[in-house]
Structure 1
Amino acid sequence: MLKQVSFVLFVLLSCYMGVESQKLKHLTNELEVKVAASDVWELYRHLGISMLAAQELKNVIQTVEVLKGDGGVGTILKLTFVPGNSSYTERFTVVNDEKRVKVATGLEGGCLAIGCSVQIVRFDIIAKTNASCIIKSDIAYAVKKEFEADDPKPNIQLLAAAAQITKRFLESKHNA
């Protein structure tokens, strides 16, 4: 059901933005964490992971601003990167507590600033056992026709770093 809703949202967004029918490309990172999925989800479901990442990655993230909302659907978040001359703004479009899925659509910056027409960030917290889970981070994107030769791509490294920070933070808290 969620995949169907996501597809419908993408089609509508594509039509709105003037994107021709094109397949989304994906960059994915997965990391196993030896903590219950519910504990990881509590950090990811709203603003926790953004604030923790900003605190731990001061050499990358200068500021995190909540432009609108409280971390639920409709929240608009702006990340400004060091040295402060680039930023990325996104809107949370899905926060599904039952499936532990969070989706954000890029509004400006990120790969949108270098030739992508769509950038969708998705987090899935997948229970593996009662005491472990997988953090799956995915960036779906489409490149504008006139930029295809440049092959612009979003950077998944920040999401991978956030997952590593989550792992260290929650596993050390759990083992303390």
Structure 2
Amino acid sequence: MTDSLKAPVAVSSDAFYFEKDKSRSILILGVGNYLMGNEGVGVHVIQEMATMKLPDNVDILDGGTGGFLLLHCFEAYKAVIFVDATLDGQKEGTISLIRPKFASDFPSALSVHDVGLKDMIEAVYLLENKPDIHLFTISINEVVPMSLELSTTVKQAIPRTIDDIIKLTKRLTAEL
């Protein structure tokens, strides 16, 4: 396999994530479809972060296109950082950070799984314990079905996004 086509690293939502108190922990959740080219950049970010040494209070999860299947994660964590692609018309590779409070606060053009993600966020706000939610988006120009490849511009946004995520986790850790 070439470097550009690495097999994904398994990062799951097994009980491991709930074996200890997560009330002072941060979950970084990459979402997207790994088989749809740039649309899967959130998952690619998580795969890259899986190779890094992260602080003990930071967990990562490849959420794929999980939607409501991810809802249980939100009750356990004090803060959740999403990473996702967006078809927002901005220059490809643009990184944005928003603080969505409701589904309507999400960009109007999140990638193809946006309906499930927006519905899930609405459900999160019905939970007794609501995490502090942050969303990093990476702008894409197209979705390429049945492709593992990222465009050069989107691929170059990954290290910058990870740097921004690490900075945010440090700030959030100080606030927990």
Give the TM-score taking structure 2 as reference length: 0.28
Decide which structure has the larger Cα Rg and report it: 1
Q: Which has the higher strand share?
A: 1
Give the TM-score taking structure 1 as reference length: 0.28
